[in-house]
Every structure is written in C-alpha cells, then in structure tokens.
Amino acid sequence: MNRALNWMIPFNRPHGFRVRPLVGGGISVYIPFWRINRNHINGIHACAIATASEMCSGLSVMEQLDPKKYRIIMRSLHVAYHYQAKQPATAKCVPTLSEIAERVVMPLKDSDTVDFTSTVEVHDQSGNHLATATVTWQVKEWSKVRTKV
C-alpha cells in the first residue's frame, strides 16, 4: 500500500511517510526523522507534520467510505504546534464508522455536499504531543461532481 501511495501522491514520496492501519480502525502515518523532513533548527519541519496530518486524516475518512461512491477534497487545515519534534513522529486519526455514518452518509441523503472535520494528534516516539491538526473535508457523491476528472 505504501508503494502505491508513493506512486499516486508523488509530492509525499521524498518524506518517507509510512501508513499503518490501526487495529481497531483508523490510520497512523509515521514521519521519519530524516534530513529532508528537518527544518533550520534540526526539528521535523512544520509542513512535514501538516502534510502527514492531512494524509492521515484523509485516509482515515476514506477508510470508512466507498471511494467509488464518494469524493473528498480538503477544505481547511489548521495545525496547532505544541512541542518541537526532535525524533521520529506518528500522526493518528481515528474517526469511527458511526461518526462517519451520522455526520457524512446520513446528511448526504438531503444535501449535495457535507463538511466533515476530523482531528489528528501527532506524537513523537517518546510520547510528547507535538501537534494537533484539525482537517475539514468536503465530501460529496461522485454523481454530484460537476467538473470532469
């Protein structure tokens, strides 16, 4: 799966992110402490954390939805940084099936689009809480999309 994601999303390839499905549902994205991911003060760059958070959130939402039926587009991304990342980190997002059903699938019966917001927490390997990302996705059925793919 990671090879396919690197091919499908070439922007993320150099970062070395590794997607790991969680046992009870949800997704985690591993962020290696590589030179390419570091900033000028030798910590993981804020944009690497934001990119991994976006990827984690989007995959965790699509894990619960049929990608042949639904399309998602990121509407907004907000990241609050709490601690400097000086070692490998992991982003985690765990929306539940009932949460997706209640806040996405059911409202789409009466509306063309729905906004769904998920929260991603990023921790380093020592357990320090590095960042909290809030990602809002616009979800709509492919049959309602007006632009050509």
DSSP one-letter code for 59: H
Q: Does some domain include residue 56? A: yes
Given this model, what pLDDT does residue 121 score? 98
* Intervals of the chain under pLDDT 50: none
The C-alpha R_g of the chain, in whole angstroms, comes to 16
pLDDT in tens, 83-121: 999 999 999 999 988 999 999 999 999 999 999 999 999
In the block, residue with structure tokens 């939805």 = 65
Structure tokens at 133: 């990302």
Q: Does some domain include residue 70? A: yes
Q: Does some domain include residue 115? A: yes
Q: Does some domain include residue 107? A: yes
Closest to 114 in 3D by CA, of 143, 71, 69, 55: 71
What CATH number corresponds to the domain at position 91?
A: 3.10.129.10
Given this model, what pLDDT does residue 149 score? 60
Burial pattern 46-71, b for ≥16 Cβ within 10 A else e, equals eebbbbbbbbbbbbbbbbbbeeeebb
Q: Does some domain include residue 149? A: no
Residue 84 lies in domain:
2-144
Helix or strand holding residue 35 (H, E):
none
Given this model, what pLDDT does residue 136 score? 97
Closest to 125 in 3D by CA, of 83, 87, 76: 87
Q: Does some domain include residue 127? A: yes
Given this model, what pLDDT does residue 147 score? 78
Q: Does some domain include residue 79? A: yes
Collapsed DSSP state (helix, strand, coil) of residue 27: strand
How many domains, the chain?
Answer: 1
Given this model, what pLDDT does residue 107 score? 95
Given this model, what pLDDT does residue 9 score? 62
